[in-house]
Amino acid sequence: MTAPAFDEKLFITELTKHQPALGAFCHAQLGDRHQAREILQTTCVTLWLKASEWDTARPFLPWAFGIARFTALAHLRDRGRERLIFDEDVLASMSSEAELAAERYDDRLDAMRLCLEKLSEKDRELLRLHYVLGRSIKDLSQELERGESALKMALLRLREQLSQCVTRRLNHPL
């Protein structure tokens, strides 16, 4: 029995679909955004080079996590002389936790989208201005003619509301 032919389109689709989860996994492994980007990039190149080894009858993400884990380990070994390095047992434990979290990334993202849709346009705009565009509380306070304390409280309530909504959706999907 011969191995199925490499399906480039399927591979690219899966890699693109799961890249945010892989990025989150890499960040959890290293705790540094810049190093995580470097590891993600190296992981993606390695995945591409090993694409023909992927068994399409099995899920893509666990295979990709394995490649990312080894890439992170190699990176940490290369940095071995630096001050704070996790030992391999700690990294393995962190990997397991990061895999679980990254696997739920798409579910959390979908839940967040649905929860954001439930908010008023005014609340969504406040969140966008502060968290997406990075506008400071002080600037928003002046622009919206609202007190800084009131804006901080509004953002806190919105974060709590979104957190509870996402948790409900993940625990009780409809």
Q: Is the pLDDT of residue 105 over 80?
A: no
pLDDT of residue 83: 46
Per-residue model confidence (pLDDT) at position 11: 92
Which of the 8 DSSP states describes residue 132?
A: I
* Residue-range domain boundaries for the chain: 8-103, 119-171
pLDDT of residue 135: 87
Of 10, 74, 67, the closest CA to residue 43 belongs to 67
Lowest model confidence (mean pLDDT) among 88-97, 118-127, 128-137: 88-97
Q: Which percentage of the chain shows pLDDT scores above 90?
A: 39
In whole angstroms, give the CA distance from residue 60 to residue 13.
10
User: Domain 119-171: which topology?
Assistant: Arc Repressor Mutant, subunit A (1.10.10)
Q: Looking at residue 90, what is its pLDDT? A: 61
> What tens digit of pLDDT does each residue of 106-132 get?
788 888 899 999 999 999 999 988 888
> How confident is the prediction for the chain on average, in pLDDT?
83
**Alpha helix (H) residue ranges in the chain:** 8-30, 33-49, 60-78, 88-103, 105-118, 121-127, 137-144, 148-171
Round to whole Å and give the CA distance between 157 and 47. Answer: 42
Assigned token pair, 49: 């080079």
Whole-model pTM: value is 0.50
pLDDT (tens digit per residue) in 32-49: 788 889 999 999 999 999
Lowest-confidence region among 43-52, 72-81, 155-164: 72-81
Torsion of CA 73, 96, 3, 10, to 10 degrees: -100
Tell me the CA distances in angstroms from 1 to 4, 50, 57, 80, 154, one per residue in order. 9, 21, 15, 44, 62
pLDDT at 119 (0 to 100): 94
CATH 3.40.190 is right for the domain spanning 8-103: no
Residue type, 173: P
Look at residue 100 in the predicted model and tell me its pLDDT. 65
Quote the CA–CA distance of 40 and 93 in Å, as a whole number. 19
**72, pLDDT greater than 90:** no
Amino acid (1-letter code) at residue 163? S
